[in-house]
Structure 1
């Protein structure tokens, strides 16, 4: 039943990961391949293991193992097929140890010394090793510290729970954050590595892990891991089948990545025809062609996001609503904005602004409709201010306490009042920085993608203040601030900020207020701004509704896939 529903599992969110987990679970439950009555039972294998361990003890290679706690019926999570046995990991291993606890001597070359980063992919990567130890140090290591063909390494710190089979004889050693399982019988390696990948093994390791910031799995926990052990012949069949199914999972993941890339290319191409339109009439024609593919185009949330960004681009270019020749032109609007500024300067409410240069032809990313004008952000705002940067405590603030905004409060298109940190009681709040209804807020520092994103605050919560990384723009009363917010978040603004952002980090960037105020702004007549805002608001509601429907559909698909997984596990 599982394999007959691969399409459902593979396309559900996290479906292939669930499929891998289910394959491993079925494998160690004895449900992946049929049992063969002629197989030598596991009890015989355990006798062979005991004989080999006794030999190694006699040779002084390992110590007499301490008695492990007997496995009670209450510990066994499920029943096993006839011929199988429940064992603890040390029952089937000659030893379970870890790397040298003393910092090894360093060398420019010699024997590779592996750290977790070298094995996180599940393979021994000697060619990528960045650390080495001298030959003399390696030769002085105990037998159990030198990995051999047939061993299984296992990460125990941070990204713990990754088994790494040693599939060829190579000279290397490893840090103490890596454990080593050495099966008493080399033929056990493949099945042991498979069993260590299961949720059954991981959950035990997680329960026994110590530490808070960085979890560490003690060797005592690993030695006591409870594992189901099939006959040796069946182990081979299980491993072969698991490898086949994991290759199928690899193919499904590759197919999914290819389909996602092809879909993204299709979305980019089709939406690109819309943004290439230069007149409303051409846009209408292109829209009709794109609309024929909407069922294919808008079947993923990221495609809806791309459509919404395209609508924003079209809006600020004047292509979403028709122009009305009776509208007062933008040149008259600029004159009114200038008059308002001069009055506020005369009243001492704002300082005289520095003259901004006209927008050059090189800075204009597109042509404007008749009646529009290119201007700059600084022309249509009366000033800007940043908040402060006090040392804050818990996030978010407690009810009734003052808080300071994080940049994430203005990063995602809607004002998020919960993104704040609490101001300590010994610091006096600064009411002049309190967020107000209608504020136009912009993040001066953020990730490269989100820097200078802005929002208009519809309803402000009391006792929230600006941080030094969030600036408030005093938008002219002659402007529609929601339209200006659309301009600031459109693609040409994103490019303006990306080209001028600074910062030593590859991800975190900063923009100065001068860069913000220099943003080229396509300015329509005031009444057209309102028509554009009304149109975009309605279209964004449709996008939000479509996004919600897709989310619900994905949730349903995920629930179906999970139910299928659970039913397979219960067989």
Structure 2
């Protein structure tokens, strides 16, 4: 089977094998990893370096002759003092040959076919962002992407370039020698040097081919088998993996005749272009699908009345299985359910319900009594924070401090061992992650509790992280236990008979992005107690709150079922892509 046929016959598998990444990226589907197309690219590279991509030609000069010429050229360059003489590398044993080679191919040590040159070193205070007299552009690991990125360079004194071979040349392959495990060994090709002259830093090496087609060698270094060998041979210190010249020079690579190298490179360009088209079509299709989903879901939140909402929901229901087929579309559905819930559009109003205005009076009476008893503080009125929603007549826009007492915790002195490892649960902001909290990573002692300003928060209270890295700020959780918190968590304490805790949680999750945006500050924006007390809150009649919670649970169960089916289907597609790859190689 030709590779083209392998691609076209199984195009549905390559296109539909998707994985969800944790980090965001391009477009609305930045969290989608096109796993099938990635596997296809890897397969094409692996077929190329095993001699299975293009047919062999018996008229080609065998690779053994090419290797003799390379050895002679390197010996001459050593004689002229242009490159250093390297230590002889050991002969390649049969065990080191990773697969059977076609006739005319040879295995060779990388160091015998290229010059490998380590980059320059210089003090940290010698890095400059702008070019100037006597300075030279210096590539670093950040510049080594799929191609060299020349728009974010450092400049260093030319005096740090000790040998002429440390000047970058067109046709060089630059390798990242120190990086994360995922990125170590990454290579990029120098097609041109837009700065005129350039060098490269100590975490990089230049691989300078002699007689081998540099594009073919790039394919070798990017092939899954070689990448795996490089990563496994690297030494690991904290989060950085290092590849040494001692590991790189003896690396065993497959060398075809030069004529076949050129044919392989031509075929690779053709097939990788096909992969590019397939990738672009997949991304365009995913983005179009997500836009359609979001447009249709927006008709629900924009519905002016119950009849229009029912009509819009019926339209979506007809195409449910076709619409909610990705993680992003199911997430959008979940978010829409939350928004409808707090807009009063998820369940019908019941004229027999006690209206929110009467409910608020009861809440205010109770709060006034608690203030009188000194159990909570009285706060002055606040300016509402957020956009007031257009609500049903039986609802009210209030602010959080109208129904909840907001309490910030604290951290007992870490240097006092007697304050820690007790039995009082203590919640940090990192644990506030859209879950019900039933236990905590750390616990404090009664002495630690007494000697800090934290307070005991009752079960059922809502917690909100008001500061934290990444997604943390604005995230919420429900307490499933009595616990105290640190100073980076705001606890909503309220009468759970008058206000349903899970309804408050639904509101908080529906406003996550809005609440995050209300955080201000320097490097780590933060919310504070006053801002949290000022958030606008849609108070619904208590019976309607309970109906909303019940309906959100029902709909979330449907979403979870969709998600489970999707994950199962995705796993099947991933296994199919892996099986197809293995079958093609073996």
Q: What TM-score comes out, normalization by structure 2 length? A: 0.86
2:248 is aligned to: 222
C-alpha displacement of 1:309:
1.0
Match of 2:220 among 191, 195, 211: 195
1:384 correspondence with 2:407: yes
Shift in Å at residue 347 of structure 1?
3.1
1:407-446 paired onto structure 2 within 5 Å: 407-411=429-433, 413-415=434-436, 421-422=441-442, 428=448, 433=455, 436-446=458-468
Question: Which segment drifts farther, 256-265 or 427-436?
Answer: 427-436
Aligned-pair CA distance for 1:421: 4.8
1:550 to partner: Cα distance: 0.8
| Structure 1 residue 436: Cα displacement | 5.0
Is 1:131 the counterpart of 2:135 in the alignment? no
1:467 to 486, 493, 496: 486
Asked if residue 87 in structure 1 is aligned to residue 92 in structure 2, the reply is no
Structure 2 stretches lacking a partner, 5+ long: 19-34
Cα distance in 1 for residues equivalent to 2:530 and 2:516: 14
Deviation, 1:448, is 7.5
Query: Number of residue pairs matched?
Result: 549
Do the aligned residues in 2 keep the contact of 1:330 with 1:373 (CA within 8 Å)?
yes
Instruction: State the shift of 1:299 in Å.
Output: 0.8
Shift of 1:354: 1.8
Q: What secondary structure sits across from 1:324 in the alignment?
A: coil
Contact 1:372 1:524 in 2 (8 A): yes
1:373 equivalent in alignment to 2:396: yes
Which residue number corresponds to residue 576 of structure 2?
A: 560
Match of 1:316 among 342, 361, 380: 342
CA 1:66–1:449: 2 relative to 1, 3 Å: closer
What is the CA-CA distance between 1:222 and the residue it aligns to?
A: 1.2
Measure how far apart 1:422 and its partner are: 4.2
Q: Does the 8 Å contact 1:2/1:565 carry over to 2?
A: no
Aligned to 2:476: 454
Are residues 424 and 24 of structure 1, via their aligned partners in 2, closer, same or farther at CA, if it must alter by over 3 Å?
farther
Which residue is 1:482 aligned to? Answer: 502
Report SS of the residue matched to 2:219: helix
Q: Which residue of 336, 343, 352 corresponds with 1:326?
A: 352
TM-superposed CA distance for 1:515, in Å, is 1.0
Equivalent residues of 1:109, 1:132 under 8 A apart = no
Q: Identify the residue that residue 535 of structure 1 maps to in structure 2.
A: 551
Change (3 A) 1:201 1:304: same
Q: What does residue 522 of structure 2 align with?
A: 504
User: Which residue does 2:88 correspond to in 1?
Assistant: 67
Task: After superposition, give the CA deviation of every residue in 1:419-439 in whole Å (9 maximum; x if it has no partner).
Answer: x65469999466965665323
Q: Which residue of 2 aligns with 1:6?
A: 11
- Does structure 2 retain, via aligned residues, the 8 Å contact 1:330–1:372? yes
Q: Give the TM-score, by structure 1 length.
A: 0.88
Do the aligned partners of 2:145 and 2:187 also contact (CA within 8 Å) in 1? no
Q: Is the 8 A contact 2:474 2:516 kept in 1?
A: no
Matched residue, 1:276 = 302
Match of 1:248 among 249, 253, 274: 274
Q: Distance in 2 between matches of 1:113 and 1:364?
A: 51
Equivalent-residue separation in structure 2 for 1:251 and 1:153 (angstroms)? 27
The SS at the match of 2:237 is coil
Q: Which of 43, 52, 59 in structure 1 is aligned with 2:64?
A: 43
Task: Report how far residue 449 of structure 1 moved.
Answer: 5.7
2:177 aligns with: 156
Cα drift, residue 211 of structure 1 = 3.6
Shift of 1:18: 1.4
For the pair 1:54 / 2:80, whether they are aligned, the reply is: no
Question: Structure 1 residue 349 and structure 2 residue 375: aligned?
Answer: yes
Residue 514 of structure 1 and its aligned partner are, at CA, apart by: 0.9
Aligned partner of residue 468 in structure 2, secondary structure: strand
Note the alpha carbon deviations across 1:522-563, whole angstroms, 9 max, x for none: 111111111111111111111111111111111111111111
d(CA) in 1 for partners of 2:230, 2:484 = 45
Structure-2 change in CA distance of 1:111 and 1:298 (3 Å): same
**CA distance in 2 between partners of 1:242 and 1:389 (Å):** 62
**Distance (Å, rounded) in 2 between the aligned partners of 1:316 and 1:289:** 22
